[in-house]
Amino acid sequence: MKIRKKEFFFALFLAITVFIIIMILLEIPKIERDLKNNVKNDLLRTISSIVDNFDHKLQVCVSQHHGQTLNSILEQNPVLRSDLESDLSMITYDDIKYSYVLYRDNENIFRFMLDGATQDKAEFGRKFDIEDQKWQRAYETGQPQLITQEKLYTLWFTYLKPIVVDNKVQGIIAIDFSLEGQKHITEIVEPLHKYVWIFLALLGIGILLSAVQFLLYRLSQKRVYLDPLTGLYNRNFFNDIISTIDYQKYAIAMMDLDKFKIINDTYGHEIGDDVLKKVSNVLKSSIREYDKLIRYGGEEFLLYLSMRDLEQTALMEILNRIRQNVESIEIKAGLITIHPTISIGLNSYTSHFKSEFDAISMADKMLYTAKRTGRNKISSFIPSHKGAEHSIHMLNVHHVKEAIEEKRIFCEYQPVVHLGSNQIVGYEALVRIRDRDGKISYPGMFLPNIVHSNIYKELTLMILQICFQKLRDEQCSISVNLNITDILDDDIYTTIKRHLELIKEDAAFLTFELLEEEQITSLDTLKERIQSLHSLGSKISLDDFGSGYSNFNHIFTLDVDIIKIDGSLIKDIDTSDISYKLVESIIAFARASDKIVVAEYIHSSKVLEIVKELGIIYGQGFYLGKPSETLSTKPDYCP
């Protein structure tokens, strides 16, 4: 999931940061040592060069006094001694504190031969107490030695240079020097230490605060991902996992509570919420821990069933168990006991589909089939030999559902004009979807894709809600398009009837335009319901008459008030004799049966002229008025 990726990269960033800080802490002492060694070595090279020059002077002095030792020469020549001490004092400066020359007597006691000090000068032969065996080693090996002493912020060194004459050590030139620079190095490095520790402390506090914030974030994410009523995952969770889950490893089931709207409207939202909670608990207890259950809509649930070690028969067993467990729920509503049922659409062949949305759409289509064939059933998708061709037809189901949830469904209204008076007498409501960028999609772009899915009913119910609200607000005649199968749907029919009963005095403003896209399977029920809508004051129109399944018999069987001639006939009426004759016969039939006729698709003045000549009173089309969100007050054309 996306969130887990963010957590991983945040933890990785913290780990790298801590690692870098630790490496810096480990490197600081090394850097300090390296700096001190570099300063020491540079100074030592300088001192070594100075001492070599002074040693050369002493060598010359000994060579000029054949047979004498350096000790005896300096003892006998106070003037020479004074000159040499003067030379020694010249090499004393900030870092070189003392310079002197010692010899070792027969009792291994070191004594002064020369002292470069300007104050408290040691006399010749004065005893010098040594504290380091490197003095003896220098005398015995004839090799230079370095004595180191660390005092607080200062490193002290004594450089010992044996004076070797004829392979015999006759004395030692000693230079005491200090690294005052070490203090400066420490002054530079110590704040670095301090700042690093301060940074580490701040980092620690930051990590602690981040951990607290992360825990709060996880708690808030849990609230964001969980539906507060049922405790199930919600659409936010679905939207986040949709791009990360390997849907082909799952069977997808779409489940919907049967007649939940009736339960909610009849017994109240409190009972409805209780039904949802108890059903959700049953669903959770009926699946495995690695399955994923999401509350997809109001009473709709989406279930991802892991196909790991699961056969097709086992899938049906799980879903049958769910169906039976839901059916066994008992909820008291006063003296009434409610037994909810659930319809399930299953797509276990998700690998046949190009995208997860397509796979879900097929499960939704199967749910629609389960509801259409009696409810409280499981309808399972079985792929044809053409494989995933179904996915093409269901491409936009998910987008339509999102549009419904985000209230991006709206209607435009095309005027219906009285061709004699040129007055607008009503409007046909035409559904539209506005995407998040403001682009509008028209019915042909989404209705064919969802007509056999469960989402189609949700869209129809929303359109009805929009139109009833428009009728109340504007007090004008509005026509609403419905499939004949919509009237046969219990939820849609109940919604229409309830609204009409609420607006009895305005029901005459409403016309239902019925389009027959499928063969009528329950004609008696349809006739009964149309009569009921008539009795409540609304009108019935037969849309697209002259095409599809529409036939003359339905005019009488369904007791329609208005015939809307199919636009494909009107469109070509000025160029096609067949279209003209068909329209002419429809008009004659309508007059004989006392039905109102409306001509659709009037797109030019020529077509309008012919329609008028044929005696058609009402017309509709882009030439008369284009659809718009606001109601037009007059036709677009000038007669």
What are 433-452's pLDDT values in tens digits? 988 888 888 787 788 778 77
Residue 17, pLDDT above cutoff 70: yes
Q: Percent of the chain beyond pLDDT 90?
A: 32
Q: Can you give the pLDDT at residue 371?
A: 84
Amino acid in the structure at residue 621: G
The predicted pLDDT at position 151 comes to 63
3-state secondary structure of 329: coil
Sign of the Cα torsion 99, 103, 108, 110 reads negative
Q: What is the pLDDT of residue 614?
A: 94
Check pLDDT > 60 for residue 82. yes
Q: Which tokens sit at 236?
A: 């936010």
Report whether 484 contacts 514 (CB < 8 A): yes
Q: What is the mean pLDDT of residues 484-491?
A: 88
Percent of the chain at pLDDT exceeding 70: 85
Q: Is the pLDDT of residue 393 over 60?
A: no
Q: Which of 64-73, 190-199, 271-280 has the highest mean pLDDT?
A: 271-280
Whether the predicted pLDDT of 618 surpasses 90? yes
pLDDT band, very low/low/confident/very high, at 1 (cuts 50, 70, 90) = very low
Where b means 16+ CB within 10 Å and e means fewer, 241-260 reads beeeeebeebbbbbbbbbbb
Q: How confident is the model at residue 216 (pLDDT cuts 50, 70, 90)?
A: low
362, pLDDT greater than 90: no
Two tokens at 124?
């010749």
Confidence of residue 2 (pLDDT cuts 50, 70, 90): very low
Q: How far apart are CA 288 and CA 310, in angstroms?
A: 12
Q: What is the rounded average pLDDT of the residues 632-639?
A: 78
User: Of 497 and 385, which is predicted with more confidence?
Assistant: 497
User: Is the pLDDT score of 374 beyond 80?
Assistant: no
Q: How far apart are the C-alpha atoms of 476 and 443, rounded to whole Å?
A: 23
In this structure, are residues 575 and 592 in contact, taking their beta carbons and an 8 Å threshold? no
Write down the pLDDT at residue 67. Answer: 79
Strand pairing partners for 628?
413
* pLDDT confidence tier of residue 210, bands split at 50, 70 and 90: confident
The predicted model gives 18-42 an average pLDDT of 72
519 pLDDT tier (thresholds 50, 70, 90): low
Look at residue 606 and tell me whether its pLDDT is greater than 90: yes
The answer for 133, left when phi > 0, alpha when psi is -120 to 50, beta otherwise, is: alpha
Using DSSP bridges, classify how beta strands 300-306 and 250-257 pair: parallel, antiparallel or unpaired.
antiparallel
Quick one: average pLDDT of 170-194? 71
Structure tokens belonging to residue 549: 């399944």
Q: Where do the H-state alpha helices sit in 145-268?
A: 180-225, 235-241, 260-267
| Contact criterion met (CB below 8 Å) for 169 and 142 | yes
- pLDDT confidence of 101, banded at 50, 70, 90? very high
Between 490-502 and 260-267, two packed helices, what is the crossing angle to 10 degrees? 30
The predicted pLDDT at position 161 comes to: 93
Does the pLDDT value for residue 343 go beyond 90? yes
What's the pLDDT score for residue 388? 39
Sheet arrangement for strand 168-179: 127-128, 110-115, 96-104, 168-179, 154-165, 145-151
* Buried b or exposed e, range 591-610, using 16+ CB within 10 angstroms: eeeebebbbbbbbeeebbeb
Once rounded to an integer, what is the mean pLDDT over residues 106-121? 89
State mean pLDDT over 542-564: 73
The structural domains of the chain, ordered by start, are 2-185 (3.30.450.20), 235-393 (3.30.70.270), 397-619 (3.20.20.450)
Q: CA 54 to CA 76: how far, in whole Å?
A: 20
Q: Say which residue, 102 or 382, is predicted with more confidence.
A: 102
